[in-house]
Amino acid sequence: MKTLLLILGITSILAAADGAALFNKCTACHGSNAEKHALGKSKVIKDMSQKEIATALSGYQDGSYGGAMKALMKGQVAALTPQDIQILSQYISAKQ
């Protein structure tokens, strides 16, 4: 049981580190705490739920989400895997 808890704890720490690394390229527009309206047009993403963030990121990838920043964001999220999207959405939603 202790081993399982240790593994889960280490996994959580690694996911947080991965989330920070993934979020690093977002900070220029969204702010280091996800507190900015990117380029004065986006929602403040720290105010979004994890599900909303994941839906937005996936939607930017497949072209089903977004307004004025749709084309810009499609390029930003193109290389994200589904796992990356989950890790990133968890990381950002934890900033609330």
pLDDT tens digits, one per residue of 59-95: 999 999 988 788 999 999 999 999 999 999 999 999 8
Per-residue pLDDT band at 1 (split at 50, 70, 90): low
Question: What does pTM read for this prediction?
Answer: 0.80
Closest CA to 34 of 21, 45, 22: 45
3-state helix, strand, coil in the chain (%, to 5): 70, 0, 25
The better pLDDT of the pair 8, 21 is held by 21
The class (CATH top level) of 2-93 is mainly alpha
Question: Structural domain boundaries of the chain?
Answer: 2-93
pLDDT tens digits, one per residue of 27-68: 999 999 999 999 988 999 999 999 999 999 999 999 999 887
d(CA 72, CA 28): 13
